[in-house]
């Protein structure tokens, strides 16, 4: 959709007003300006303006669609127009804007390709996609329990499916446990007896099972017997409730009041599995052996 001149003017006016406010606040008012501080503040604001422009380019569904298509392969203008259902004039305008933003580039043969900047921006956009897609759930989740590097990678969960039903939650746990053939990793709190019994099945077949749980609940695991296929470690606090195998994963991010509910993310996408196994390994390496 074409942005109106009014929208552009309004955006520019609001942003320029924000620049004045930010500069005034950073300098502590209009008195006692120091040139070095002014120059530093202006440079910071200029960087903010560039960032705002970049986000503005992604605010168009057409431009975002072009970037996503060019990530797969290079396309000529007519191909872009046909794939996205745009007119030639609109396609040309959007390609020009993306080129000026250095997100795409036109080759000598007329084919447009995505730049390294464009690839990076798309990679970062997956995290925004995850937040938008699951905003009703995430608003009550305490994401800051997670290590910073995993918060940065939340976009890898954007293809997940949100489970909201108790029976579906239990079925997903059971399917992952019984379907595991190479490994089974779990992060938990208090054990669920029915699942604990089922977890013994893959262990009996020689599937390695590793279990992490928090110190607060270690008494519940005193009677669990470890062997070469079943290991346990203790961590200060569980960042999430999670079950992951080589096939699929369930991830339950804890609420702001440190509780677990039925809403959890389920997925089989390789990126989801990588995120989940990496998170598990991060805490496994820090865990204490449970005797």
In this predicted structure, what is the pLDDT of residue 228? 75
Identify whether residues 276 and 152 lie together within a single domain: yes
Of 40, 58, 76, which residue constitutes the final position of a domain? Answer: 58
What CATH number does residue 83 fall under? 1.10.10.10
Q: Structure tokens of 105? A: 């580039």
User: 149: domain range?
Assistant: 141-289
**112/156 same-domain check:** no
Last residue of one domain, picked from the residues 93, 121, 149: 121
DSSP state, residue 149:
H
Regarding whether 67 and 9 lie in a shared domain, the answer is: no
In a domain, 126, yes or no: no
**Per-residue pLDDT tens digits for 280-291:** 999 999 999 876
Residues 218 and 284 in one domain: yes
Identify the residue with better confidence: 33 or 64. 64
Higher pLDDT, 42 or 245: 245
Query: What percentage of residues in the chain have a pLDDT greater than 90?
Result: 45
Judged against a pLDDT cut of 70, whether residue 50 lies above it is answered with no
How many Cα atoms are found within 13 Å in the side-chain-facing hemisphere of 100?
11
pLDDT of 194: 62
CA distance 137 to 157: 14
- Domain shared by 188 and 117, yes or no: no
| Lowest-confidence region among 30-34, 63-67, 83-87 | 30-34
Indicate whether 34 and 79 sit together in one domain: no
User: Does 128 map to a domain?
Assistant: no
Report pLDDT digits (tens) over 92-111: 999 998 998 889 999 999 99
What pLDDT was estimated at residue 36?
53
Does residue 269 sit in the same domain as residue 203? yes
Residue 163 within a domain: yes
Average pLDDT, integer, range 156-163:
94
| 232 in the same domain as 217 | yes
- For residue 223, is it within any domain? yes
Q: Which residue has the higher pLDDT, 114 or 46?
A: 114
**Is residue 135 one of the residues assigned to a domain?**
no
The CATH number linked to 153 is: 3.30.870.10
**What single string gives the DSSP state of each residue in 57-88?**
HHT-HHHHHHHHHHHHS-B-HHHHHHHHT--H
The alpha carbon of residue 260 and the mean position of all alpha carbons in its chain are separated, in whole angstroms, by: 20
Are 45 and 68 part of one and the same domain? no
Q: What pLDDT score was predicted for residue 225?
A: 66
More confidently predicted of 112 and 258: 112
CA distance 182 to 107: 46
In a domain? residue 127 = no
- Whether 155 maps to a domain, the answer reads yes
Report pLDDT for 14. Answer: 36
Does any domain span residue 129?
A: no
2 or 179, higher pLDDT: 179
Instruction: Flag the least confident range among 22-36, 122-136, 148-162, 165-179.
Output: 22-36
Q: Give whole-number Cα distances, 254 to 141, 257, 258, 284, in Å.
A: 6, 8, 6, 19
User: What's the pLDDT band for 48 if we cut at 50, 70, 90?
Assistant: low
Distances (CA, A) of 283 to 155, 181, 220, 238, 262: 20, 22, 20, 9, 23
The predicted-structure confidence for 16-29, as pLDDT tens digits, reads as follows: 444 444 444 544 54
70-95 average pLDDT score: 91
Q: What is the mean pLDDT of the chain?
A: 81
The pTM score is: 0.70
More confident residue, 122 or 256: 256
Residues 147 and 229 reside in one and the same domain: yes
Same domain assignment for residues 149 and 250: yes
Shared domain for 21 and 94, answered yes or no, is no
The whole-number pLDDT of residue 181 equals 93
Cα separation of 291 and 221, whole Å?
Answer: 10
Q: How many domains does the chain have?
A: 3
What is residue 255's DSSP assignment? B
């Amino acid at each position: 959709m074409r942005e109106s001149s009014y929208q552009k003017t309004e955006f520019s006016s609001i942003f320029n007003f924000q620049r004045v406010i930010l500069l005034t606040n950073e300098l502590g008012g209009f008195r006692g300006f120091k040139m070095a501080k002014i120059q530093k503040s202006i440079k910071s604001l200029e960087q903010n303006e560039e960032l705002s422009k970049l986000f503005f380019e992604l605010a168009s569904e057409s431009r975002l669609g072009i970037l996503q298509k060019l990530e797969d392969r290079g396309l000529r203008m007519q191909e872009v127009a046909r794939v996205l259902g745009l007119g030639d004039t609109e396609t040309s305008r959007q390609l020009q804007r993306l080129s000026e933003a250095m997100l795409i580039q036109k080759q000598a043969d007329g084919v447009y390709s995505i730049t390294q900047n464009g690839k990076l921006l798309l990679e970062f956009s997956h995290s925004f996609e995850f937040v938008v897609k699951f905003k009703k759930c995430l608003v009550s989740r305490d994401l800051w329990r997670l290590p910073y590097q995993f918060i940065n990678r939340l976009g890898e969960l954007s293809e997940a499916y949100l489970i909201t039903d108790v029976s579906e939650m239990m079925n997903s746990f059971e399917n992952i446990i019984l379907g595991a053939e190479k490994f089974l990793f779990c992060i938990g709190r208090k054990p669920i007896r029915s699942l604990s019994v089922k977890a013994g099945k893959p262990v009996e077949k020689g599937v390695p099972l590793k279990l992490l749980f928090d110190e607060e609940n270690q008494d519940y695991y005193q009677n669990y017997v470890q062997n070469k296929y079943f290991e346990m470690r203790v961590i200060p606090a569980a960042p999430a409730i999670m079950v992951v195998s080589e096939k699929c994963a369930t991830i339950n991010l804890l609420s702001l009041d440190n509780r677990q509910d039925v809403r959890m993310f389920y997925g089989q996408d390789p990126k989801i599995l990588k995120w989940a196994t990496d998170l598990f390994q991060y805490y496994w390496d820090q865990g204490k052996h449970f005797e």
